[in-house]
Structure 1
Amino acid sequence: MQFAVRVTPKGGRDAIDGWIRDEAGRPVLKVRVSAAASDGAANAAVIVLLAKALKIPKSALTLVAGQTSRLKRFEAPVGEAELQAAFGLPPA
């Protein structure tokens, strides 16, 4: 399943802040990491955080789009139920 993530690098701590809606009304998972956005450190920190929350190996999580952007798209081998169990329900 693919899902969108909005990353805040140098956010003070590693945390998943829940779902928000983007300008187009699509659900986006808001994530902050303490790592800076240099040399892929923030991306690596996001992958570790998401994999831990989803209870899957880091290698099972794929960054599909947004390598250098704050808005990223990830793919994980989980269903909607597992995604909701880990991050809650997206806003209606």
Structure 2
Amino acid sequence: MYEHVLVVEVDGRDFECPLHEVSVRDEYSDGSGHVYVALPDGRRQMVSISLEETPEAEVRRFVVAVFNAAADEKMARLERQALVPQAEA
């Protein structure tokens, strides 16, 4: 089976986090967008994005896409888990 992941850079190293175990949120101030990623181990990472280089609407679309993908992955995992007893029978 496949597992969807979000790749997050922490201290210069890339980590693959299971998509169903992360959450994201965003804030905007002083020409910057800030994307916060809550990781499976409870830690958070912040990515700051210059809104001069990347339009705010694009950052917001990215955050919504990741948020929705994580929600979809959670639902898909629950649906797959519900099918296991039938497949084993």
Higher RCO by CA contacts (8 Å cutoff, separation 6 or greater): 1
Answer whether TM exceeds 0.5 for this pair. Answer: no
- Structure with more helix by fraction: 2
TM range (shorter): under 0.3
TM-score, with length taken from structure 2: 0.25
Which of structures 1 and 2 has the bigger CA Rg? 2
